Every structure is written in structure tokens, then in C-alpha cells.
Amino acid sequence: DSYRLFFGPGTDAQLSLAGATMTALGDKVTVVLETPSDRALQVPLVGNINSTLQVAMPGFQMPVPHFALRYGQSVTVQDLAMAVLVTPQFAGLREADGLAELLLEGSNGAVVVQFDGASKLVKRMQAAFAPDGAPAGFVVSFDLGFEPIVADALVPPITVDLATSTGGARSIVTSFQDLQPKPLAVGDKSPEWTMTAMDGSSVSLGALRGSVVVIDFWATWCGPCKRGLPYIEEFAKWASSSGKAIRVFGVNTLEPGSVDERNEKASAWWREQKFTMPLLLDSKDAVSRAYGVRGIPMTIVIGPDGTITAMHAGLAAGNPGQIVEDLKSESEQALAGPKQ
């Protein structure tokens, strides 16, 4: 992941990361998410962006300590440890490679913070820790590098962009609950989407209007997904041989790594399985977020008019193959249209 941090005069600040931009400008804090794309959260500034978001978004934790360092009257060990350590303590300070190194230790791991002794700006952070509830021997590690730039003024200055992707204006909500994507249900209109297929072509839901579209969300790390995909493939072969207007796609999502890494990993595994149904790449997880997907596998049936007609969450443990017959029945019913 990459973060971009901007600090202007007073409490003006901005954090941009994958799928979200959080901005303190004047007396307001605004949160804009990639999904949903039609609204934004805006609340009065209370203290600074850090303290405001902790109230507006309960449980929110800044992914980097810079905001606590800039705005805190005092900096705690937990601020520097980014809340990943249990009972953290200062454990050591030394000079290394021209930087000051601060060692923080907790009962579940350690964090090293490197900073410039003159400017006091953080240059690097390294952590290795066992998350709460993790199995024995399971350790998460990360390495954050920073390239701080000090200037007399920000160019360009901090701004808030409330435009939608279609050029309209986002509506303003005042609670984080109203900002979050609502999980879709049967009977809802499907969100529009365009994804890249494994062969590099572009596939959009709008271009498939008039056909039943079945999409199955999966990831290479998801065991139930991989056990369930052969059944989706079986259904896809039936749909293809039936001559009916039914299109079936696997959709890789929630895959770790960069866009190139995740696409390469998913495509390689797909080819190994010799699946015949097309693979679509939800490279930034925007499509799964738009559907409000909370877990995978998730299979969604979309009718010819773009209405969601069926949803299957998870893999049925007792009879996973039943989904083949279910999808056949649901697809044919969607083609026939609603019962009069």
C-alpha cells in the first residue's frame, strides 16, 4: 500500500490511501471513499483530523503515527506502535546509519521507528508481531518507508473533491454508518461495473444486458472458494451448451499484493485448473465492495434487466454440488421474467 500525507497550516491535513481520502480543511473533516461513489462523510472539525475521525468513525486508527506526532500534546508508546503491540514499552534508543532508532517492545512483538534526529521526521518503521488470537508461530511483519518533504507551502494546496465519476456532486452524510456501502439483496438493482478479463479484454455488465449474468467472487487464499469453483464451472458448461442467454464469470477479488501480482497469481491458478468460464479481475476490490460482499465465496445471479435475482454466500458443507441445480433453476426463472 502507498499513503500520501499532506500537512498545511494549522490543522489542515490530508491522508490519501487506496480507496479513500480523508481531509481536514478549515472547520470540516471530509471522508471520500471510492465506493460508494455517490456520497461523502463530512463532520465538524473537533481538535484535529485524528481526534475528529476517532469520534466520527468508532474504532478508527490512523495507519501511520504522523498525525499523533503532529497534533498530540504528548506522544504515547501506543501512538508510535500504531496499536499493534500489547502492553508496549520503550525498550531502547540508538544511532544507526545516520538515523535515530527507537525500539518499542510488547508481549506480542516489537516495532522499530527510525527518524531524523535533526528534523524529528519519521523515515522508516518496521514491525513484527503476533495478532490477538493468532495461532502459535503466526507473525505479521511490515516495513514502512517514508519520504518526507518540508516546504514553505503546499503546491498544489489541500482541496476537497466531491465530484462523482460521472461529473455530478456527491451527497453529504454526517454519520459513518450512512457512508458505508449497504450489502445488496435480492430484488436490488445491480451496480454497474467494468472489469478486465484474464485475456486483457474489457467486460461490462451494461454490455451484457438481456442475458442472465452469474458472477462468483473468489480468491486464491480461500479454500472454500477453490472447492466450490468446480461446481460453478460445471454450471458454466451447462449454460454454454444450453444455448440460453446465460453468461458465467469467476471474479477474483480480495487478493493480496499489487495489482500485477494479484492478477498474475489468479490467472496462473485459473489456467492450472483449465476452467473454461472467463475470469474477471476485480483488481482494486471495487466491485466486491459495491455489492457489499462481506465474505467469499459469494455467487450472485443478475437478471436480464440488471436486477439481482439470487445470492449464494459461502459453500454449503453438506451438499456443495446443490448449487449447480440451484443456479440452473434461478437462471431459467430469471430468463422467464417475474411471475405474473
Amino acid 263: pLDDT: 94
Band of pLDDT at residue 327, cut at 50, 70 and 90: very high
Flag whether pLDDT at 4 surpasses 70.
yes
Question: Over the stretch 45-76, which tens digit does the pLDDT of each residue have?
Answer: 999 999 999 899 888 888 888 888 888 777 88
pLDDT of residue 340: 47
Alpha carbon 55 to chain centroid distance?
22
Residues in the chain: 340
Q: What is the mean pLDDT of the chain?
A: 91
Straight-line distance from the first to the last Cα atom of the chain, in angstroms, rounded to the nearest whole number: 51
In this prediction, residues 288-294 reach a mean pLDDT of 87
Express each pLDDT in 161-207 by its tens digit. Answer: 998 877 789 999 999 888 876 778 999 999 999 999 999 999 999 99
Give the SS3 label for residue 77. helix
Q: Are strands 202-204 and 194-197 parallel, antiparallel or unpaired?
A: antiparallel
Q: Is the predicted pLDDT of residue 283 greater than 50, yes or no? A: yes
User: Rounded to two decimals, what is the model's pTM?
Assistant: 0.61
Quick: pLDDT tens for 81-133. 888 899 999 999 999 888 999 999 999 999 999 998 888 889 999 999 998 88
Of all residues in the chain, the percent with pLDDT exceeding 70 is 99
Residue 292 is predicted with a pLDDT of 85
> Does residue 318 register a pLDDT over 50?
yes
**Is the distance from CB of 103 to CB of 91 less than 8 angstroms?**
yes
How confident is the model at residue 193, as a pLDDT? 94
Using the predicted structure, report yes or no on whether residue 319 has a pLDDT greater than 50: yes
15 contacts: CB under 8 Å, gap ≥ 6: 3, 4, 5, 21, 22, 23, 49, 62, 67
Mean pLDDT calculated for residue range 325-331 = 97
